[in-house]
Structure 1
Amino acid sequence: MRMDDEHVADGTPFGDPIDEPPATRARRLLRAGLPTTDLAPALAEETDPLLFATVSGAHLYGFPSTDSDVDLRGAHLLPVAELIGLHEPDETRSRMWDNDGVEMDLVSHDLRKFVRMMMRRNGYVLEQLHSPLIVHSTQAHRELLALAPGVLTGHHAHHYRGFAATQWRLFEKTGELKPLLYTFRALLTGIHLMRSGEVQAHLPTLIAEVSAPGYLPELIEAKAEAEHGAATGLAPTRLQSDVDALHEVLADARDRTRLPDSPAAYEALHDLVVRTRLQR
């Protein structure tokens, strides 16, 4: 991944990766387990301007496997003609390719759709926006980050409860370690968000900040060996008890949160979408 003022990469959940020296970003990129090849040529193939692209998925969550693919997520800007004509705009783009033996995929949404998703209590897109693993950034990305606190509400707890429940059912069906870690990650992210007002998706960091089962570091280490490895060595009843307990903690954190009930950044985000489109 090339690293300069507009194409940067980072492998840490801390600090401001946009403004870090390239050498520091490169070291953190390697620690995150990401490929170091230049992605600029692949991103240049996008038909519409990218406003940002970040790494999501297991690399962002802090438990990639040696055979994990790389999930890139972001926002792009459609031309005005595609939004005001009679044709329905293609607001979401998806592309997959091989990058030196590593499977890559990029999913991006038009800025208007991305902002609308931000306003709908969608923790997933907020995690993408806040990802410190930045591949491409622009001024619009910085402005979105600055306005993001204004969309956070106590209702985001429902997003994380629902996501955790879905992943837990997948774990019960497959017995794989991946959905089990996703379950814990979602619950801890939701708890941390309700308590601090901060979007934090990195599981090793969350373990240090939120009371969590002591076996999670071992599960992370086991997941590093294989993307679809089985979860072994823990009784299902204990896992169920720990997951249920974290659901209760999240519900309590939701009841006690200082986050508002409704977003406050609607007009500011509206202005950003209009201004960015007109400047194209």
Structure 2
Amino acid sequence: MSDRNDLLLEGVVGSVAYGLNTTESDVDYLGIYVEPTRTFLGLHPPTRDRGTRHGRDGADATYHEVGKAMGLILSCNPTVSEILWLDNYTVATDFGAELVSLRSCFLSAQRVRHSYFGYAMAQFRRMLHRRETQGLRDPRLAKHARHTLRLLWQGYELYTTGVLPVRLPDPEPYFDFGRQMMEESGETAAKALIADYEQKFDTAKTALRQCPDEAPLEDFLQRLRRAHLDNW
């Protein structure tokens, strides 16, 4: 469980943030925390494997150390990147707010396309696997379908506008698509959706730079580490 005193940012993510929650949905939290700089100077510094904590008063919550989080956001990981694009935060320190203000510096066209399209394809493959192994009545098929469409739409919006809309303007088409996946025609519709978005990405003019702007991010992290260095 994360020590809330070291949090930089925390917010509600997942289905509730997207507007895709149902009565069965949990409230998911995502956050970024900072380790004291002295811990990086000892025998057992934090590593990528050790840079994640879980749990928040019994709720589903994931917290990444800021160094790990920034690396994941630089790769345009959709699950972590959305923390910088929320409308509201349950925790936002001055450093956390500054990190949000730098969110566009993390973006690059190729990584956004690769990550969002790749995550959508992973959801698509899980969906097909469930159809084959569990049958059409498995309710998780609908969830995989909703998130396949969500990832494609969000990724395309980010790619073409430079802005990541976390909350969907109208959730109903996503629920409709989820219900369709529980029908025989679902696989054909899903394959057509993937092909359509692949063509849209291929022909779109991106609003993103080709490489991220790392200099402001490096400056931010260096100042943050100095601010959390103990006096000797």
TM-score (normalised: structure 1): 0.69
Deviation at 1:114, TM superposition (A): 1.4
Give the structure 1 partner of residue 217 of structure 2: 269
For the 8 Å contact 1:157–1:251, the answer to whether it is kept is: no
Structure 1 residues without counterparts, runs of 5 or longer: 1-42, 99-103, 208-213, 223-229
User: SS at the partner of 2:109?
Assistant: coil
Out of 79, 89, 95, the position equivalent to 1:124 is: 79
Q: Tell me, in whole angstroms, the C-alpha distance in 2 between the residues paired with 1:120 and 1:243.
A: 22
Structure 2 residues without counterparts, runs of 5 or longer: 132-140
Give the structure 1 partner of residue 146 of structure 2: 181
Equivalent residue pairs, number:
214
Out of 24, 29, 41, the position equivalent to 1:72 is: 29
TM-score (normalised: structure 2): 0.82
Q: Tell me, in whole angstroms, the C-alpha distance in 1 between the residues paired with 2:12 and 2:173.
A: 26
For the 8 Å contact 1:48–1:78, the answer to whether it is kept is: no
Q: Percent identity?
A: 26
With over 3 angstroms needed to count, the CA separation of the structure-2 counterparts of 1:197 and 1:94, relative to structure 1, is same
Q: Tell me, in whole angstroms, the C-alpha distance in 2 between the residues paired with 1:158 and 1:84.
A: 35
Deviation at 1:148, TM superposition (A): 1.0
For the 8 Å contact 2:32–2:65, the answer to whether it is kept is: yes
Higher helix share: 2
Query: Match for 2:94: what amino acid?
Result: Q
For the 8 Å contact 1:190–1:250, the answer to whether it is kept is: no
Give the structure 1 partner of residue 54 of structure 2: 94
Give the structure 2 partner of residue 32 of structure 1: none
Out of 158, 172, 175, the position equivalent to 2:128 is: 172
Q: Tell me, in whole angstroms, the C-alpha distance in 2 between the residues paired with 1:118 and 1:111.
A: 10
User: SS at the partner of 2:22?
Assistant: coil
Matching of residue 216 in structure 1 with residue 174 in structure 2 = yes
Deviation at 1:48, TM superposition (A): 5.1
Q: Deviations over 1:127-163 (max 9, x none)?
A: 1221224211111121111111112111111101100
